[in-house]
């Protein structure tokens, strides 16, 4: 990977494939997208059989294709919100992505669509990996994939708890790590690292003064 990357970075003349850029260019400002800013998508990413299959299925629904290493092991595909559920179902049924390794939310407050849900898919038989992403606006909900992989149940609850992303159709969407009546979502960028009232209110509501940590006593 170390050898591969300077090589990939050393060919800046490669053309961006136009269909990938169209929807995202119209949809949002591209500046804060970390995966893209340094490197243009490798044209050989489009030649991967998996990428061709995704294109064939989702077509215009694919917003962006990139890979940090320039190879398929970090292949990242951003798709439109309405495409994520059908695409996941298709990838699981037709391409053996039977294992959802991870699902998490990321907050990019500077973007037009500030939330991102990141799916890490894995195929146990063919040992293939794929990262899918879907970008969401302030009030938009992501469709749940917990009906495709049951793993997603808790992972989506965690993304809801930590980043405050709503998942449409989730059977049991409630906080998982924090108490039910907690305010705010800690992994949002505006959430303070230290208290400033957020945790203190909860402590005052629930814990009698004598049992509070010293720092929270009067």
Partner 1 sequence: MTQVTPETIVPQVEELILNMGPQHPSTHGVLRVILRLKGEIVQGVDVDIGYLHRGVEKIGENITYAQFVPYTDRTDYVASPANNLGYVEAVEKLALMQVPARAQYIRVITAELTRIASHLLWLATHALDIGAMTVFLYCFRDREKVLDLFEIAFGARLTVHAFRVGGIYHDPPKLFYDKCTEFAREFPKAIYDYEDLLTENRIWQSRTRGVAVLSAEDAIDLGASGPILRASGVAHDVRRAEPYAAYEDFDFTIPVGKNGDVYDRYLVRVEEMRQSAFIIEQAAADLPSGKTMAKVPRVLKPKRGEVYHRIESPKGELGYYLVSDGTDRAYRLRIRPPSFVNLQSISTMMQGGLVADAVAAIGSIDIVLGEVDR
Binding residues for partner 1, per CB under 8 A?
Answer: 1-2, 5-6, 34-35, 37-39, 68-69, 74, 76, 98-102, 104, 106, 118, 120, 124, 127, 129, 131, 149-151, 153-155, 158, 162, 175-179, 186-187, 191, 193
Query: 139 or 193: whose CB is closer to partner 1?
Result: 193
Tokens representing residue 133 in the block: 């992403």
Q: How far is the CB of 52 from partner 1 (least distance, A)?
A: 23
Residue pair 167/143 in contact by the 8 Å Cβ criterion: yes
Which H/E stretch holds residue 36? Answer: helix 34-37
109: left (phi over 0), alpha (psi -120 to 50) or beta: alpha
List, in sequence order, every residue forming a beta bridge with 131; answer none if it has no partner.
76, 120
Q: What's the min distance (Å) between Cβ of 158 and partner 1?
A: 8
Q: Which residues contact 13 (CB under 8 A, 6 or more apart)?
A: none
CB 211 to partner 1: min, Å: 15
Q: Which of 79, 72, 74 is nearest to 27 (CA)?
A: 79
Please say which residue, 52 or 189, places its beta carbon nearer to partner 1: 189
Q: Can you give the C-alpha Rg of the chain in angstroms?
A: 20
SS3 at position 124: coil
Query: Residue 37 Cβ, how far from partner 1 at the closest point, in Å?
Result: 5
Q: Which is nearer to partner 1, 56 or 193 (CB)?
A: 193
| CA 26 to mean position of chain CA atoms | 20
Query: Judged by CB, which is closer to partner 1: 177, or 200?
Result: 177
- Output 6 or 208, the one with its CB closest to partner 1: 6
Nearer to partner 1, 25 or 177 (CB): 177
Residue 215: φ, ψ to 5°:
-65, -25
Min separation Cβ 40 and partner 1, Å? 13
State the minimum distance, in angstroms, from the CB of residue 209 to partner 1.
21
């Amino acid at each position: 990977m170390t050898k591969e990357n300077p090589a990939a970075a050393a060919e800046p003349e490669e053309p961006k494939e136009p269909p990938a850029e169209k929807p995202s260019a119209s949809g949002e400002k591209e500046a804060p997208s970390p995966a893209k800013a340094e490197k243009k998508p490798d044209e050989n990413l489009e030649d991967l059989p998996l990428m061709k299959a995704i294109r064939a299925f989702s077509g215009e629904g694919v917003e962006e294709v990139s890979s940090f290493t320039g190879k398929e092991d970090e292949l990242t595909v951003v798709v439109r919100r309405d495409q994520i559920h059908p695409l996941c179902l298709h990838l699981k049924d037709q391409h053996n992505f039977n294992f959802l390794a991870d699902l998490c939310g990321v907050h990019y407050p500077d973007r037009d669509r500030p939330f991102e849900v990141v799916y890490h898919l894995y195929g146990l038989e063919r040992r293939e990996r794929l990262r899918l992403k879907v970008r969401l606006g302030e009030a938009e909900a992501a469709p749940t994939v917990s009906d495709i992989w049951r793993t997603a149940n808790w992972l989506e609850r965690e993304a809801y708890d930590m980043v405050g992303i709503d998942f449409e159709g989730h059977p049991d969407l409630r906080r998982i790590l924090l108490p039910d009546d907690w305010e705010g979502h800690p992994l949002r960028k505006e959430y303070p690292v230290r208290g400033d009232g957020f945790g203190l209110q909860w402590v005052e509501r629930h814990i009698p003064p004598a049992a509070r940590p010293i720092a929270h006593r009067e």
